[in-house]
Amino acid sequence: MTAALLSSSSSTLCAARRSAASAGPARALPLRRRAGVVRVANIAAPAEEMLGQQGAGQTTKYEGGKKLGNAPPFTLQDMRDAIPPECFVKDTVRSAGFLALDVGVVAALAIGAYFLDNPLVWPLYWFAQGTMFWALFVVGHDCGHQSFSNNKALNDLVGNIVHSSIMVPYHGWRISHRTHHANHGHVENDESWYPTTKSNYEKMDKWGKLGRLLFPFPLFAYPFYLLNRSPGKDGSHYDPKCDLFTESEGPLVETSNKFQCAWVGFLAGCTLALGPLAMLNLYVLPYWVFVMWLDVVTYLHHHGPSDPEEEVPWYRGEEWSYFRGGLSTIDRDYGIFNKIHHDIGTHVVHHLFPQ
């Protein structure tokens, strides 16, 4: 599956580059790079003053495998203008409808599998329910970007509930994810899934190298990232005093921790009522399927093929800009899963305009 997706992405990028110059931004959204140097830190969306400043005016410098680092023939403002206004309208009723459908499917799967209790059904349930947990994560992800509705309090409430149900600390994750969006493509400043530098690699112990670099262990990395962040970075998404967070954000992290504790208590009660084996089947194993979905999808959206002609660049220092970093992401087609996980595969424009 991964190889096919990588091959498909490579073909898409080639086609985008060929058509970009003549077709304009509406046809060239997947095209990568280059932009003026405007450093953006710790934001959820590009500042309005950046529009029009990033993307045009540079001359072509690179050939061969580095050509993806050249300037796109449009600016961030051009891209904003090419997107229909209705795409920026937040519909709370529609968002709630998607969430209700997800919750309904999760409940139906759990009830059906529990009463069937068939060894042939359980593996199908683990995959289906883990996929639905991933869909719930996407809803919480959109709450974190404040795109679920125009009401911030509602977004944060829904995000805390939904993410807690799949063992994700909503505010801790939301803030670190905001940092990721604001610095994507920057080797030192990006928050997650950035390339391991030689200096970091040499500092890693054998367990770090195993978990980070040797397949299939990276498929299970997410909960460990929440606990310890990525190699070369200190702290935890559960620690309100972590340098990920400002002093004013500490109480928000504590709030999400309380939601997590409440959910753990609920799971403990279910375990007492239904038994450990039932909870292993109903929740624990689907949770790890969800973790694999999250790690695979995140990796595919931020890493391109190993073909030297199609490598997605990463940047350092003044070579980086918000626009350049956002264009270093990749759209993916997940086939029948696109609608199930709310079209999360449309990733490039999401990085540029998260709301």
- Is 186 inside a domain boundary? yes
- 140 or 233: which carries more pLDDT confidence? 140
Does the structure show a pLDDT above 50 at 3?
Answer: no
- Is 49 inside a domain boundary? no
Percentage of residues in the chain having pLDDT higher than 70: 81
CB 16 within 8 A of CB 28: yes
Q: Which amino acid is at 157?
A: L
The conformation of residue 311, written as its DSSP 8-state character, comes to P
| Gap between the Cα atoms of 311 and 151, Å rounded | 40
- 246 half-sphere exposure, CB direction, 13 A CA radius: 8
Tokens representing residue 45 in the block: 């969306």
pLDDT tens-place string over residues 111-120: 999 999 999 9
Contact partners, residue 170, CB within 8 Å, separation at least 6 = 140, 143, 144, 156, 159, 160, 162, 163, 164, 256, 259
Q: What is the pLDDT of residue 313?
A: 83
- Is 163 inside a domain boundary? yes
Residue 158: alpha-carbon gap to chain centroid: 18
Q: pLDDT band for position 84 (50/70/90)?
A: very high
Q: What is the pLDDT of residue 4?
A: 40
- 233 or 1: which carries more pLDDT confidence? 233
Q: What is the pLDDT of residue 233?
A: 78
pLDDT tens-place string over residues 228-267: 887 777 889 999 999 889 999 999 999 999 999 999 999 9
Contact partners, residue 79, CB within 8 Å, separation at least 6 = 25, 29, 55, 349, 352, 353
What range does the domain containing 241 cover? 89-353
| Gap between the Cα atoms of 227 and 300, Å rounded | 22
What distance, in Å, lies between the first and last C-alpha atoms of the chain? Answer: 30
- Is 146 inside a domain boundary? yes
Does the structure show a pLDDT above 70 at 26?
Answer: no
- Is 62 inside a domain boundary? no
pLDDT tens-place string over residues 181-224: 999 889 888 887 777 778 878 777 777 777 777 677 778 888 98
pLDDT tens-place string over residues 311-343: 788 888 888 888 888 988 899 999 999 999 999
pTM for the structure as a whole: 0.81
CB 167 within 8 A of CB 157: no
- Is 271 inside a domain boundary? yes
Residue 34: asked if its preceding bond is cis (omega within 30°), the reply is yes
| Gap between the Cα atoms of 321 and 305, Å rounded | 22
Tokens representing residue 242 in the block: 């972590």
Task: Give the number of domains in the chain.
Answer: 1
- Is 174 inside a domain boundary? yes
- Is 117 inside a domain boundary? yes
| Gap between the Cα atoms of 147 and 103, Å rounded | 19
Q: What is the pLDDT of residue 321?
A: 85
Does the structure show a pLDDT above 90 at 355?
Answer: no
